[in-house]
Amino acid sequence: MIEATNQQVTLEIFRGDDDGGEMTEYTVEVQEGMVVLDAVHAVQAQHAPEMACRWNCKAGKCGSCSAEVNGHPKLMCMDRLDNYEAGETISVRPLKTFPVIKDLVCDVSWNFEQNSRIGQLQPRQGTDWLFTQREADRVQEFRKCIECFLCQNVCHVLRDHDRKDDFVGPRFLVRLASLEMHPLDDGDRLDEIKDEYGIGYCNITKCCTEVCPESITITDNAIIPLKERIVDRHYDPVAWIWRKLTGQK
């Protein structure tokens, strides 16, 4: 374990762009409690000021610093160096699913395009805006998303099969669920979710849920209920109408 002060750590960081590059080794001094992002910053300050990486909050709140550390998709700012063995070389790569701009920075603009396809809340006419915390809880879980895109990165539909044209990916199914399950929403997006956003491509492997740093139960709480609603609509219209009528979101 890396602990006492002023130990050294060796990182192997991808340097390059979409046309190629190589893993470059750096050794930096580290202090107790440091995270991978600190070590990357130390590399910038001591060896390679021109090395590119994204970060903002350094507290797991903004979702900027996503990378693959020793092959695992992580937020670098929440990944402590003492998670690794002393003397172990830590490899840091950019997300695989998106094109690399430079070093650890990827082009994630596809995700922003997906988001702009999704419409806003459609509040019930004349609502008094009263609802309980229990009703809020369900949606608040989805709204914790910090858009780190780690789930998008691991979902095999996007990562291995590159079906970006057909499938919006778990992050945006979460967003759609947050609208569909809002206690005062009156919209109906089920057909779009099936036909345009491609929920059928998801085969419930749960890889997305496993990597979510916000512990959103993406598959069980967002995707599966949406799938069920779609099934109901097409194969059990009575259940669907019942839910609509009773306002059970």
Binding site for other proteins (CB under 8 A): 31-35, 38, 44-45, 48-64, 78, 80, 101-103, 105, 108-109, 112, 115-116, 118-121, 123, 129-133, 135-136, 139-140, 143-147, 179, 182
Partner from other proteins, ligand SF4, ligand FES, none contacting 102, C-beta within 5 to 8 A by type: other proteins
Angle separating helix axes 109-117 and 170-180, nearest 10 degrees:
20
Type and span of the H or E element at 111: helix 109-117
Site residues (CB under 6 A) for ligand FES, limited to 28-57: 55-57
Partner from ligand FES, other proteins, ligand SF4, none contacting 68, C-beta within 5 to 8 A by type: none
CA distance 213 to 15: 26
Q: Give min distance, CB of 80 to ligand FES, in A.
A: 13
223: CB partners within 8 A, 6+ apart: 170, 173, 177, 199, 202, 204
Q: Give min distance, CB of 143 to other proteins, in A.
A: 6
Q: How far is CA 98 from CA 85, 158, 165, in A?
A: 29, 9, 14
Which part of the chain contacts ligand SF4 (CB under 6 A), choosing from 26-34, 131-139, 181-189, 209-217? Answer: 209-217
Residue 218 is a binding residue for ligand SF4 (CB under 6 A): yes
If DSSP codes are grouped into helix, strand and coil, which group holds residue 16? strand
Task: Measure the CA dihedral 104/32/215/65, to 10°.
Answer: -20
Largest Cα–Cα distance in the chain?
A: 66
Q: Give min distance, CB of 16 to ligand SF4, in A.
A: 25
With CB under 6 A as the contact rule, the residue among 2, 36, 216, 226 that binds ligand SF4 is 216
Residue 229, φ and ψ in degrees, nearest 5? -65, -35
Residue 106 is a binding residue for ligand FES (CB under 6 A): no
CA distance 95 to 23: 14
Which part of the chain contacts ligand FES (CB under 6 A), choosing from 58-66, 89-97, 165-173, 191-199? Answer: 58-66
With CB under 6 A as the contact rule, the residue among 116, 133, 203, 246 that binds ligand SF4 is 203
Which DSSP category does 5 fall into? Answer: T
CA distance 153 to 171: 10
Residue 77 is a binding residue for ligand FES (CB under 6 A): yes
Q: Give min distance, CB of 205 to other proteins, in A.
A: 26
**Under the rule (CB under 6 A), what is the footprint of ligand FES?**
55-58, 60-65, 75, 77
